[in-house]
Structure 1
Amino acid sequence: MQNVKGTYDFFGKEQALRKKVQTVLQEVFELYDFDEMDSTILNELDLLTSKYAGGDEILKEMYQLTDQGMRRLGLRYDLTIPFAKVIALNPGIELPYKRYEMGKVFRDGPVKRGRLREFLQCDVDIVGIDGPEAEAELMQVAAEVFKRLNIPITLRWNNHQFLGEILETMGVPSDKKPSVMLTLDKIAKIGNEGVIQELADKGLDAQVTKAITELIQLDDPTFKQISDLYGIVDSKGSLEVQALQELIQELGLDQTCKFDPFLSRGLSFYTGTVYEIFDASSSFTSSLGGGGRYDEIIGKLVNRDEAAYPTVGMSFGMESIMELLRDRPLEAKVPLVVVIPIGEATIPVVLKTAAELRASDIPTGLDTSRRKLKKSLASAASKGIRYVILIGEDEAADGKVRLKDMKETTEVVLSLDEALLIVQKNVL
């Protein structure tokens, strides 16, 4: 018996850390007024394979199945298309609409560090805003999330429209622009030489290849440098970049958010801004999150004006974040009080006592292991538990408890209400 490759069970300290990360994400999402959503895992195959969805690279990794009614279905491979479906099916949703969702997605792809076949995605999306303020707000969300997780990041961003305009001025044919963008997106992984080699295999005109080669050999080019070099100043893409860049500077995000003219993220449905989040120290090379603007998907799904549902989203890579945090020490969660029965007859009273403590919002554990009291006390001390309540037959008969302070090494017999006041005063 073994787990399917690329799937894991989480428990103990690792699950506690995962829960902590999810709690940070949820707190920040709700701080920014995003509503929670829970979309369907099973979807019609036609939806997931539509030309407006994830593209060939993702579709070949999709898990497909047929139900007993011979309907062709698929497991969701991300949270974006199911979200688009929800908006399309509920035209009464008031726009702009901001949602977040944390849920499992499935991809039958290669397994490596930080990349699984069953994994948790954590998404935020804004639909109904076509201005750069939507992208800027999601950048603020990312900065706040990783600040709380104590992970220094670099958020690299670009604009699909702008990159397309650059390639157009170089003479790249329209039908080859997506392929060239994919190659440029790999520059950090395969280097300039790798990019040049891939370009050579695309059958581009020699002058076009030379122009692209000159572009990638520029040393960390800025937006102004590139727009001046190629004469792209008042185009749609360049104006979008300028507007977002001004907002980033106004918000003080310019040290975290860096313009990257080669970033494209590879997915065909992006229509404007794209961004990807990386560990600022570069010790972990996988992406920690990413996203962008996809203005056309929802409108196309419902056969309406493509621009009717301007949308921008960001996905946080839970598994990559976990890989980065896994070796960090985690403060173990322990109960504030442990209740121990002395003798079998006192177990009902012990259960009732624990229930009353919990009703007062005091995390309470039970030790009914029937081991020697000395071992139970040693266990509580090793976990840093301050108070132990002992209940023997005499205490049960008198309606009392024996409160043991492990820090002060004192022990007193008193009522549960009195014990409760002491615990609340000293540990809450």
Structure 2
Amino acid sequence: MKIQNVKGGYDFLPKEQKIRNYINGVLKSTFEEYGYLPIETPILCYFDMLAGKYDENNDILNEIYKLKDQGNRNLGLRYDLTVPFAKFIALNKNELKLPFKRYEINKVFRDGPVKVGRDREFTQCDVDVVGLSNQMIEAELLSLYVRAFTKLGIEIKIKYNSRNLMRGLIKNCGVEEQLISPTITIVDKIDKLSEEDFLKELTNIGLSYNQALKLLDSFNMSLEKLNEIFKNSEIGEIQKGLEELNNLEDYINAINIKEYCEFTSSLARGQDYYTGNVFEVYEANGKLPGAIGGGGRYDKMITEFIDDGEIYPAVGISFGLTSIFELLKNNEELSSNNAIDLYIIPLGTEKYSLSLANKIRELGYKVDIEMNNKKIKKSLDYCNKENIPFVIILGEDEINNK
């Protein structure tokens, strides 16, 4: 038998896990400052529930870990926290008061190809609100991003856009309905492509060259310019998208986070379930190339999942814990902070040392004891290596003279 981890799963040494715990602690305290409540959902789910919102050709269905229980029921390991959250609302809606604000930090699993930024087992961190359809709550989520990353010491830039505006601009270029989704996928890559490659990819999926040129022009406009040109547009998605963005921008200015935020007309976020404004967060100085957070409005998902005739507008954001760890993993201050305040070295006083350690712990200190009969010098060397600030060497004389 070869002892090894499954590809895409990892062990974390204490030094690494301390940083991960620190990140989670900062995020949890920030979420609770904003009134978000913790929940937990099961890892094991019925497969049909996990697969229900996707068509049979969707790649995500191939990435669900599938299994059967002893009753031959089809189960799966959750691949995100959003579908389990929709299930949570469905099962507990009579116990919850809307709007409901929640956060969850938990493991998810995906049986896909392993590469940088894509593991098979990883921890996801989501913050969501159900029951509010306005941009006020979206602005609060953006301010939560600013607050959390400031506490972590990470400079950020938040990009934001409206999926409605994207669809409207594409329709305005005469693109047929069946080509809108693949067009959005290409537009989302506009910053990574040369102008020539961008036009080529659009024509390859069936757009005319003139349509592609018009799209290139549309998705290089500022929000101010879009408002000026399309203020009287008869395309509903454009009007709705501009309204969503203008409302959000008013709140961004009102709460003084404009310096962190940047309108980006090409931002799509990959998921088709987004129905309004979307967001992505990047490290401001280019230390990591990809996003370290993202989210948006998804008003239809929970509504269609529950399907009880009620409307459940929702918006949520996520934090890329793996990316955040990469940014902080070399922070010596975080990794060197020792968990132990005091180390006791017993010299034939083991029972008394155990009792003393418990009494000191009751005062709020973190205490460890040498239990391997090491010589004093080796024990002191250990304390120096681990940056333990205080040591008690406890012998019979110390007890008798207490």
Cα-to-partner distance string for 1:187-241 (whole Å, 9 max, x where unaligned): 233444433232122112343223113334x3xx311212333456681121111
Match of 1:214 in 2: 217
Check the 8 A contact 1:185/1:262 in 2, yes or no.
yes
Match of 2:289 in 1: 285
Counterpart selection for 1:390 from 374, 389, 393? 393
Match of 1:12 in 2: 14
Partners of 2:198 and 2:127 in 1: how far apart? 32
SS of aligned partner of 1:100: strand
Cα-to-partner distance string for 1:353-411 (whole Å, 9 max, x where unaligned): 11111111111111122121122223324444333222223334x2x5xxxxxxxxxxx
Check the 8 A contact 1:53/1:269 in 2, yes or no.
no
Map residues 177-256 of structure 1 onto 2, 5 A cutoff. 177-216=180-219, 218=220, 221-231=221-231, 235-256=239-260
Partners of 2:390 and 2:294 in 1: how far apart? 46
Of the structure 1 ranges 322-331 and 232-241, higher mean CA displacement relative to structure 2 is found in: 232-241
Of the structure 1 ranges 377-386 and 332-341, higher mean CA displacement relative to structure 2 is found in: 377-386
Partners of 1:6 and 1:32 in 2: how far apart? 34
Partners of 1:52 and 1:114 in 2: how far apart? 23
Cα-to-partner distance string for 1:59-95 (whole Å, 9 max, x where unaligned): 3322222222222222111111110111112221110
Partners of 2:160 and 2:250 in 1: how far apart? 14
Partners of 2:28 and 2:19 in 1: how far apart? 14
From the superposition, tell whether residues 2 and 191 of structure 1 become closer, same or farther in structure 2 (CA, over 3 Å). Answer: farther
Give the Å deviation of 1:129: 0.6
Partners of 2:161 and 2:55 in 1: how far apart? 21
Give the Å deviation of 1:276: 0.7
Partners of 1:267 and 1:24 in 2: how far apart? 28
Rg larger for: 1
The normalised TM-score by structure 2 is 0.92
What is the identity percentage for the equivalent residue pairs of Structure 1 and Structure 2? 39
Equivalent position amino acid for 2:50 in 1: L
SS of aligned partner of 1:9: coil
Partners of 1:97 and 1:225 in 2: how far apart? 37
Match of 1:83 in 2: 85
Counterpart selection for 2:346 from 341, 350, 354? 341
Equivalent position amino acid for 1:39 in 2: T
Match of 1:42 in 2: 44
Check the 8 A contact 2:106/2:123 in 1, yes or no.
yes
Give RMSD over aligned pairs: 2.0
Give the Å deviation of 1:301: 1.2
Partners of 1:168 and 1:384 in 2: how far apart? 63
Match of 2:330 in 1: 327
Partners of 1:203 and 1:53 in 2: how far apart? 23
From the superposition, tell whether residues 147 and 204 of structure 1 become closer, same or farther in structure 2 (CA, over 3 Å). Answer: same
Match of 1:66 in 2: 68
Cα-to-partner distance string for 1:314-356 (whole Å, 9 max, x where unaligned): 010111111122222223214221111112xx21111111111
Match of 1:365 in 2: 368
The normalised TM-score by structure 1 is 0.87
Partners of 1:371 and 1:238 in 2: how far apart? 71
Partners of 1:215 and 1:147 in 2: how far apart? 34
Equivalent position amino acid for 1:279 in 2: E
Partners of 2:14 and 2:195 in 1: how far apart? 44
Match of 1:104 in 2: 107
Equivalent position amino acid for 2:16 in 1: E
Partners of 2:271 and 2:192 in 1: how far apart? 17
Check the 8 A contact 2:299/2:312 in 1, yes or no.
yes
Correspondence 1:297 to 2:282:
no
Check the 8 A contact 1:115/1:320 in 2, yes or no.
no
Partners of 1:232 and 1:275 in 2: how far apart? 26
Check the 8 A contact 1:337/1:365 in 2, yes or no.
yes
The number of residues matched between the two structures is: 393
Check the 8 A contact 2:338/2:388 in 1, yes or no.
no
